[in-house]
């Protein structure tokens, strides 16, 4: 009887979480992100067909230096927009804060891009073409920043349908541009598709939002703490991305053939694509549970339900990967990818840690204003990653990079859990 009651309580908690998710148009966002992931996956497959693997490997290696910088556009001020905007009650105030962040962040990002353009001429990239590629790809930092602001604005206004349309639009544009430009211009076309897709998406949606561009508001919370939060939240997002990208950079630096970058990138596509599952929940619920973060009972029930759901999801994914992984790799990418099934399974084990714990507790740390904790967790993980990869990659190749990543994914996940409960126990909450 006790077991039955226990299971029933857990089932009710899960139902409550999912009902809230669907009431906030979560199903629309979920469908949109599924379409987006499939579309992006298709774009990568098209690039693999139209671009020589060695040349594609050089582009992947070079873009690794750019992609982890995207969250630091505007010194991370877009992260402040999410948290502080969620605490505002009036639409006019949200618009005012949006315009402040857009203007300040735009010029800060222009400065950042300019500095990186200058420094790239002196950085000793592994491959000769990387410096030229970097000078083009770096503009994606600015364009992704602009698109990210639009997405945040829509989330703050609970315009989840339009948010979903934005995700779909971006993905369809990316597939179309990659298909056409890669076919005619090979790797240069692929690079142009990477930088133009977020810009076009921003331009399409910014005029659909009916924002008052002349809106000005004064906020007493825009001070050092406001910028500090955004900066550390941005760094907290940079470090996990860098943890993913450092593998590609070190594979490029430590192994001679750039084709190894291509192999590793495509082996990681499926595991890393699965991160949309918790991310879609966070995209829907972050503003909602941030508003209720002082309600201890609600937050603890949310955590319990989330962990139950994603423990089950992770178990099913691992079973599927074990029995169908090799067939899938060969079918999607080619016969030679079947040789990397061990690497694939190792990454799947690591990703399960992010699905079950890391995404949830990383967002919860941000919601209580402890974004800096995410940064320090990531910084520690980054240090361990670099040291470990210098041992594992030369010895085991790309499998070594996967081993390091899997260990660090679980390490950071558990550490996030522990730190959240430590800080949360010290906050004022309502029982």
SS3 200: helix
Is residue 64 a part of any domain in this protein?
yes
- pLDDT confidence bin for 2, thresholds 50/70/90: very low
The confidence score (pLDDT) of residue 5 equals 42
DSSP H helical segments within 26-138, as ranges? 26-50, 53-67, 77-86, 91-120, 130-137
Is residue 391 a part of any domain in this protein?
yes
What's the DSSP call for residue 429? -
Domain that holds residue 197: 2-424
Domain count, the chain: 1
Is residue 429 a part of any domain in this protein?
no
CA dist 346 → 89, 241, 260, 388 (Å): 45, 19, 17, 16
Percent with pLDDT over 70 in the chain: 91
421 pLDDT exceeds 60?
A: yes
26 pLDDT exceeds 70?
A: no
Per-residue pLDDT tens digits for 341-353? 999 999 999 999 9
Per-residue pLDDT tens digits for 292-315? 888 888 888 889 889 999 999 999
How far is the C-alpha of 278 from the C-alpha of 285, rounded, in Å? 10
**Count of CB atoms situated within 10 Å of the CB of 221:** 12
1 pLDDT exceeds 70?
A: no
Give the mean model confidence (pLDDT) for residues 387-400.
92
Is residue 400 a part of any domain in this protein?
yes
6 pLDDT exceeds 50?
A: no
What length does the chain have?
A: 431
- pLDDT confidence bin for 429, thresholds 50/70/90: low
Computed over every residue of the chain, the mean pLDDT equals 86
Is residue 178 a part of any domain in this protein?
yes
Is residue 161 a part of any domain in this protein?
yes
Per-residue pLDDT tens digits for 65-114? 898 788 889 888 888 888 788 777 777 788 888 888 999 999 999 999 99
Of 47 and 4, which is predicted with more confidence? 47
Give the mean model confidence (pLDDT) for residues 234-263.
81
Give the mean model confidence (pLDDT) for residues 225-248.
78
Give the mean model confidence (pLDDT) for residues 387-397.
92
Is residue 430 a part of any domain in this protein?
no
pTM as predicted: 0.74
Of 233 and 142, which is predicted with more confidence? 142
Percent with pLDDT over 90 in the chain: 46
DSSP per-residue codes, 125-192: -SSTTHHHHHHHHTHHHHHHHHHHHHHHHHHHTT-HHHHHHHHHHHHHHHHHHHHHHHHHHHHHHHHH
The confidence score (pLDDT) of residue 21 equals 65
How far is the C-alpha of 188 from the C-alpha of 428, rounded, in Å? 54
Give the mean model confidence (pLDDT) for residues 238-265.
82
Is residue 431 a part of any domain in this protein?
no
Contact indicator for 348, 205 with CB cutoff of 8 Å: no
């Amino acid at each position: 009887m006790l077991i039955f009651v226990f299971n029933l309580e857990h089932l009710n908690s899960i139902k409550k979480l999912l009902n809230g998710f669907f009431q906030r148009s979560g199903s629309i966002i979920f469908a949109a992100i599924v379409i987006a992931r499939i579309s992006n996956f298709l774009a990568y497959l098209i690039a693999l067909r139209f671009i020589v693997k060695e040349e594609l490997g050089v582009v992947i290696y070079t873009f690794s230096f750019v992609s982890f910088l995207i969250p630091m556009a505007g010194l991370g001020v877009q992260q402040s927009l999410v948290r502080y905007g969620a605490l505002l009650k009036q639409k006019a105030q949200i618009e005012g804060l949006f315009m402040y962040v857009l203007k300040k962040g735009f010029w800060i990002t222009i400065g950042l891009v300019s500095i990186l353009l200058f420094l790239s001429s002196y950085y000793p990239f592994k491959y000769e073409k990387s410096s030229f590629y970097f000078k083009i790809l770096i503009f994606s930092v600015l364009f992704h920043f602009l698109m990210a602001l639009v997405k945040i604005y829509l989330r703050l206004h609970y315009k989840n349908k339009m948010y979903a349309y934005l995700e779909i639009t971006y993905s369809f544009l990316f597939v179309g541009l990659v298909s056409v430009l890669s076919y005619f211009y090979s790797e240069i076309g692929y690079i142009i598709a990477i930088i133009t897709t977020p810009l076009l998406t921003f331009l399409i949606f910014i005029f659909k939002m009916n924002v008052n561009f002349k809106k000005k508001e004064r906020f007493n919370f825009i001070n050092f703490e406001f910028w500090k939060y955004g900066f550390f939240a941005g760094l907290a997002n940079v470090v996990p991305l860098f943890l993913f990208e450092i593998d590609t950079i070190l594979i490029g630096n430590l192994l001679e053939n750039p084709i190894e970058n291509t192999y590793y990138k495509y082996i990681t596509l499926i595991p890393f694509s699965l991160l949309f599952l918790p991310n879609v929940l966070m995209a829907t619920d972050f503003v909602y549970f941030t508003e209720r973060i002082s309600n201890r009972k609600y937050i603890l029930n949310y955590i319990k339900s989330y962990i139950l759901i994603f423990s089950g999801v992770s178990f099913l994914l691992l079973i599927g990967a074990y029995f169908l992984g090799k067939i899938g790799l060969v079918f999607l990418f080619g016969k030679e990818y079947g040789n990397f099934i061990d690497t694939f399974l190792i990454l799947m084990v690591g990703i399960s840690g992010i699905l079950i714990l890391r995404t949830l507790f990383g967002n919860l740390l941000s919601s209580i204003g402890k974004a800096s904790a995410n940064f320090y967790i990531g910084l520690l993980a980054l240090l361990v990653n670099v040291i470990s990869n210098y041992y594992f990659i030369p010895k085991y190749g790309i499998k070594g990079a996967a081993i390091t990543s899997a260990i660090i994914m679980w390490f950071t996940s558990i550490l996030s859990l522990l730190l959240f409960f430590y800080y949360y126990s010290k906050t004022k909450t309502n029982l």
